[in-house]
Amino acid sequence: MSTATIALRDEVIRLDQTESREARRARLSSGGLMAGIGLVLLVLAFRTKGEARYALSGYFDAVQLPTFSLPGLPTVLVCGLITLAVGAGFLGGRLNPRLRAGAATLAGIAVMLGLVTWAASGVGLPFQISNQLAGTIALATPLVLGTLGGVLCENSGVVNVAIEGQFLVAAFTAATVGSVTKSIPMALVAAVIAGVLMAAMLAVFAIRYIVDQVVLGVVLNLFASGLTGFIFDQLVQPNSSQLNSAPIMQAIPIPLLSSIPLLGPVLFNQTILVYLAILSVFLVAFLLYRTRWGLRVRSVGEHPEAADTVGISVRAVRWQAVLLGGVFAGLGGAFFTIGSTGAFNKDITVGNGFIALAALIMGRWHPVRAALMAVFFGFVTQLATQLQSLSTPMPSQFLLMLPYIATVIAVAGLIGRSRGPAADGVPYTK
Amino acid sequence: MTNDTSGLRLRGITKRFGTFTANDAVDLDVVPGEIHCLLGENGAGKSTLMNVLYGLYQPDGGQILIEGVPQKFTNPKQAMAAGIGMVHQHFMLVEPFTVAENMMLGNEGGFVLDKNAARAKVRELAERYKMPVEPDAVIEELPVGVQQRVEILKALANDAKYLIFDEPTAVLTPQEIDELMAVMQVLRDEGKAIVFITHKLREVRAIADRITVMRRGKIVGHAEPGTSEADLAELMVGRAVDLRIAKSAPAAQDVRLQVRDLKVANAAGGIVVDGVSFDVRGGEILCVAGVQGNGQSELADALIGNIPPLSGTLTLDGVDITRARPAATIGAGMGFVPEDREDDGFVGTFSVAENLVLNRVTQAPFSRGVALDLGAIAANAEKLKDEFDIRTQAVSSPISSLSGGNKQKVILARELSRDLSLLVASQPTRGVDVGAIEFLHRRIVEERDKGTAVLLVSTELDEVEALADRVLVMYRGKVVGVVGPDTPRDVMGLMMAGASHEEAVRAAAEQPTPLVEQVHEAAVHHTEASEGQEGNR
């Protein structure tokens, strides 16, 4: 046979392309969603009165930036039209695929701006942008740490539904140890140990005893809630002055950087946990993609047999990844007590562990993307709080639903089906 | 080193799983510079033996000797250290990783990955063994043949002396098989000892220096490389086997399936069937031949109604079925043997009897109103079990407990037990034993003789030659040509690579040398050259 056949085999066959079914579905659903929201904004525009004021600085900031105003009706109208146009562009398929990401971002910003302008119009108080940013960071910190714990765990092939439980036990431990020792470092170390112990329970049942990992995660969450609730009722509550009054982490301003207007205090005048969370994103990304250990973690999460045949102990690597994940989840949990009020309360983590899990999936199991998703959730949650304080026409129950609605929309429409590690949740037995 | 102790020797290896003896006192000698073929049907114990050798299983008895020294492997790492490399049937490659990452896995060097060193190592190995691969290519984006190249390089990476190829051709196209054979010959000539596990007779005859046949866990005989395929098959199966079933000339009848300008896209949006037109008459077998991934699978999926076509028309017995869903095409008399038996052919946890009525379960006599008639389902199963020689303990056993050949018999029995106007069969004998192939082929020809139109999709030239009345060759979604079944193999091979019939005939006449030998020669020169260099050092 001719040499031509040899040459043919090396090249990847390229065919004429039409749109894939999945891409089409994602395009149509996100287009429909945007068009729908655009229409809602258009309706809202004609019910918008007066103007919306935006404050760039908090009341007590050293440098006061100006407060500016946007006219209500025109702004909401334009935002609605932009969203509608992008939605129509998606639906009609006329939009150049390369421009789609940019257009979707534009529509996203338009939706936010339109919504906030509508809500803040005709209200006496200005919308505090600095508050919005600071709140986003605060809310995102535990989410980022939790999602990183999940990233490590799930990249090794162990599904972690128990981030919530890890948070809860770590939050409790940080509060009690902090109260007894009056030391932030001790409380942090205790929280990490608690997170690792919870991770060890996950590991021993998932890896050693091959329990269904989703069921196991649910059980661990219930266990964490029951255990902390019980001890809290029996022991901590009656002695709350000794056992439930931990010191609170203080913000550590970074010289120079923290005095940048607007962004300075938001990013560079934060507690040690916030800095740790930011560093952890890069640390986990480095570990997973640049080190021998990370290569092995990803290989046992994708194709454990392949790892086994080159002499890698699948179970050992999974144990390591799950336990290290517990470290980050423990740090995240500490934020709920010593990072905020210093006191523990029953089920203080209120579902944040599940939001971290959602961020993990939406971030497609990648540390940086997952962390960005966590920040997005923090942003939406803070937006809901801010709008509530403006006494907007929206019912507060609806506002509380906002982060979760955003989750569903983002998962269903904008992200589409995402593929995780191939052996995620599959126990390895020889 | 005496001749008695050189190489790798297995002595009396016994491996039991519960009461089942997978390997019963097996002896095997693997000598440097030789390709030793281990021939046997699925389930004969070949893979178990190799897994013992590779440290994945611990033997219950017997010894592994390398150069006369007894070895004990409790994990693959030890086997690798002793110079054993394995090319697995299901590649041990991490799909989202690059070639370099896969090659370095388990042997990464320092804590921080040195990807440049890994790339250099890949290039060096690829150069040394003349197996070009791109270090930064991601595995899942590579054709299967190139993936296997990576798997081979991985086995060679730590200077393996003994190479095990576990059914390496099962996933390859005819051209890729040729190329693999050439690579194996090069490695043999370099002095590697090779074990080649297969159940394909043609390959054995083409390449083996020594043949050992296994059946039911035991060595049942040795054969010379020149042994005829019929004799090898008899040794392997334990009885005489018809390799080429008798088949009369087709009785020309009316066109039953008409395909016009069909365009189909795959899930990723690639147009994989591009303007295909053909007819299938009643009483003839039209074979769709082509290298895997040239649109045949999607063509079959479009016929049954799994993928709606982008454009074109499909007509079955004068009825338009272009946009019909599977329920409608099945109702119109289409029988369908899917390419991926395990995923699409049956429900693994259902019983054989239930699987036999899977697409007719709502019809009489198998159901009355909302209730199933379990008696009728069981009676149907008993009848088909005898008729199709389905080997199962009971028709109530789950189908997943059956061998591949018997699973396929269940699927074929289910389809052929209806009155068909068209049978679409994709790779009906992939991964099936020689004995079962004979049976399946006979049933397909019998169905043709009843006047059914048969569309057979196959990448196996043996199968195409054995069954086809006409052969339609597909390449990159287009029909290259329709030829007779007596077209020479090398012409067919060239057409499968995209050459038109005339071009293929001309090229085959000009260049009669088979690919195997060409590559072989080139590689031998290379080996001599590199040996010369070593001498200079």
Look at B106 and A3 and tell me if their CB atoms are within 8 Å. no
Q: Which domains are assigned to chain B?
A: 8-237 (3.40.50.300), 255-333+419-536 (3.40.50.300), 347-409 (no CATH)
- CB burial class (10 A; 0-12, 13-18, 19+) of residue B256? buried
**What is chain A's percent helix, strand, coil content, to nearest 5?**
70, 5, 25
Kindly give the residue spans of alpha helices, DSSP state H, lying in A52-183.
Answer: 72-92, 97-120, 129-155, 163-181
Contacts of B142 in chain A (CB under 8 A): 12
Check whether residue A143 and residue A111 sit in a common domain.
no
N residues, chain B: 537
Residue at token pair 């801010």: A386
> What confidence tens digit (pLDDT) does each residue in B426-465 have?
999 887 888 888 899 999 999 999 999 999 999 888 889 8
Structure-block tokens of residue A21: 């079914």
CA atoms within 13 A on the CB side of B367: 12
> How does the average pLDDT of chain B come out, rounded?
87
**Cβ neighbours of residue B297 closer than 8 Å, sequence gap 6 or more:** B339, B426, B457
ipTM: 0.84
Closest alpha carbon to A5 in B511, B376, B26, B330: B511
Whether residue A183 is found in the same domain as residue A331: yes
Angle B50-B52-B55 (CA atoms, 0-180°, nearest 5)?
110
- CA-CA distance, A80 to B224, in Å (whole number)? 81
Residue A203 domain flag: yes
> Based on the domain organization, do A237 and A97 belong to the same domain?
no
A33-50 residue pLDDT tens = 889 989 999 998 888 888
Identify whether residues A100 and A216 lie together within a single domain.
Answer: no
**Is A12 close to B143, i.e. CB distance below 8 A?**
yes
Q: Is the pLDDT of residue B384 over 90?
A: yes
Which of A393, A392, A408 minimizes the C-alpha distance to A355? A408
According to the model, what pLDDT value does residue B523 have? 38
Range of the domain at A291: 139-369
Name residue A55's beta-bridge partners.
A67, A128
pLDDT at B536 over 70: no
- Region B369-396: what's the mean pLDDT? 91
What is the pTM (predicted TM-score) of this model?
Answer: 0.82
Structure tokens at B79: 């086997």
CA dihedral B371, B375, B379, B381 (to 10 degrees): 50
Q: Tally A–B CB contacts below 8 A.
A: 141
Question: Does residue A234 belong to any structural domain of this protein?
Answer: yes
Which chain A residues touch B515 with a CB distance below 8 Å? 1, 5-6
User: Percent of chain A beyond pLDDT 70?
Assistant: 91
Instruction: Judge whether residue B95 has pLDDT over 80.
Output: yes
Contact B113 A302 (CB under 8 A): no
In this structure, the strands spanning B193-198 and B162-166 are parallel
Same domain, A106 and A144: no
Pick the more confident residue, B130 or A150: A150
- Provide the number of structural domains found in chain A: 2
Residue A57 lies in a domain: yes
**Residue A410 within any structural domain of the chain:** no
CB of B166 less than 8 A from some CB of A: no
Contact A311 B75 (CB under 8 A): yes
Chain A residues near residue B93 by CB distance under 8 angstroms: 303, 306
Distance CA B228, CA A397 (A): 81
Give the residue from A166, A170, A174, A222 showing the smallest Cα distance to A199.
Answer: A166
Pair A192, A115 in one domain: no
B275 touches chain A (CB under 8 A): no
pLDDT above 50 for A7: no
> Are A108 and A163 within one domain?
no
Here the contacts of A203-211 (C-beta below 8 Å, separation 24 or greater) are A203/A158, A203/A318, A203/A319, A203/A322, A203/A323, A206/A158, A206/A159, A206/A322, A206/A427, A207/A158, A207/A315, A207/A318, A207/A319, A207/A322, A207/A427, A207/A428, A208/A315, A210/A427, A210/A429
Give the amino acid at A255. Answer: P
Q: Which residue's structure tokens are 């509380």?
A: A400
Q: Residue B537 has what pLDDT? A: 34
Q: What is the pLDDT of residue A8?
A: 39
> Exposure pattern of A25-38 as b/e (b: 16+ CB <10 Å)?
ebbebbbebbbebb
Indicate the residue among A315, A334, A369 that finishes a domain: A369
Helix (H, G, I), strand (E, B) or coil at A269: strand
Q: Phi and psi of B361, rounded to 5°?
A: -70, -20
Contact across the interface for B92 and A15, Cβ inside 8 Å: no
Q: Does the beta carbon of A101 lie under 8 angstroms from any beta carbon of chain B?
A: no
pLDDT tens figures, B264-316 = 988 778 889 999 999 999 999 999 998 877 899 999 999 999 999 999 999 99
Q: Which of B106, B310, B477 sits opposite A15 (nearest CB)?
A: B477
pLDDT at site B392: 85
Contact A17 B108 (CB under 8 A): no
Are A2 and B108 inside 8 Å of each other by CB? no
Q: Is B61 on the interface with A (CB under 8 A)?
A: no
**Domain identity same for A39 and A101:** yes
Least confident of A101-105, A399-403, B515-519: B515-519
Shared-domain flag, residues A153 and A282: yes
Residue A378 within any structural domain of the chain: no
Answer whether B492's CB lies under 8 Å from B291's CB: no
- A146-174 mean pLDDT: 97
Instruction: Determine the residue of chain B that is closest to A419 in CA distance.
Output: B96
